[in-house]
Chains A and B, each alone.
Chain A
Amino acid sequence: AQKVTQAQTEISVVEKEDVTLDCVYETRDTTYYLFWYKQPPSGELVFLIRRNSFDEQNEISGRYSWNFQKSTSSFNFTITASQVVDSAVYFCALSDHNRDDKIIFGKGTRLHILP
């Protein structure tokens, strides 16, 4: 069965600190996609990144970076030099390429960046 676990329910850090959001997933399939979404207080879901299961290269986009490790079934997200605008709920998600075409979301991690 597919499952996404975000063990950190809520995290608070002081502005400019680095913070890592953990994501562990379960799937029996060899082809799958992993995602991160941001949900700011306004409520919309903002797409951040998509990773396919064959690409284990880490990715950096500005202050954001992602560490994909198949060996530990993890897809962690790090924000460097956090800013107050990074305060949001962050969701990790998994989509199976061969099964029934839906994204399974983790429960989300609420991130508070304190000024």
Chain B
Amino acid sequence: DSGVTQTPKHLITATGQRVTLRCSPRSGDLSVYWYQQSLDQGLQFLIQYYNGEERAKGNILERFSAQQFPDLHSELNLSSLELGDSALYFCASSPGDRGFTEAFFGQGTRLTVV
């Protein structure tokens, strides 16, 4: 158990819909990272938050957004869903904001868009 909790584990939704994925970081970790793993793209970095503020942005679509709340949990919002958004979405957390030194991932949310 990595200590990073993601919910839900599975999600099936229709095209055009909006979903929210949730991540609770390990106790004491201030940084949260979101990754997307699709069959053809591998593991892609989406976005990082540190103590409530956006710290780094990767290949995140404009239809996607994220935030980190005062209790440090994070949500990834995916809207106007397309079939190509079907993927495994991972959250990871680390203690600080400089370098990914402690690298533990949640179990992922498998999103299927039909």
Contact = CB atoms under 8 A, between A and B. Distances in A.
Given A43-B107, A45-B90, A102-B58, A33 B100 contact: yes
A55 interface: no
Interface residues of B, number: 26
Contacts of B45: 102-104
For the residues of B in contact with A, the DSSP-based class is strand
Contacts, number: 68
B36 to A, nearest CB: 11
A72 interface: no
Interface string B79-114: 000000000101010000111111111011010000
Contacts of A47: 2, 103-105
Contacts of B104: 47
Interface of B: 2, 31, 33, 42-43, 45, 48, 50, 55-56, 58, 88, 90, 92, 97-105, 107-108, 110
26 contacts: A33-B101, A43-B88, A43-B107, A43-B108, A44-B107, A47-B104, A50-B103, A93-B103, A95-B99, A95-B103, A96-B99, A97-B99, A98-B99, A100-B55, A100-B56, A101-B55, A101-B97, A101-B98, A101-B99, A102-B33, A102-B45, A102-B48, A102-B100, A103-B92, A105-B42, A105-B43
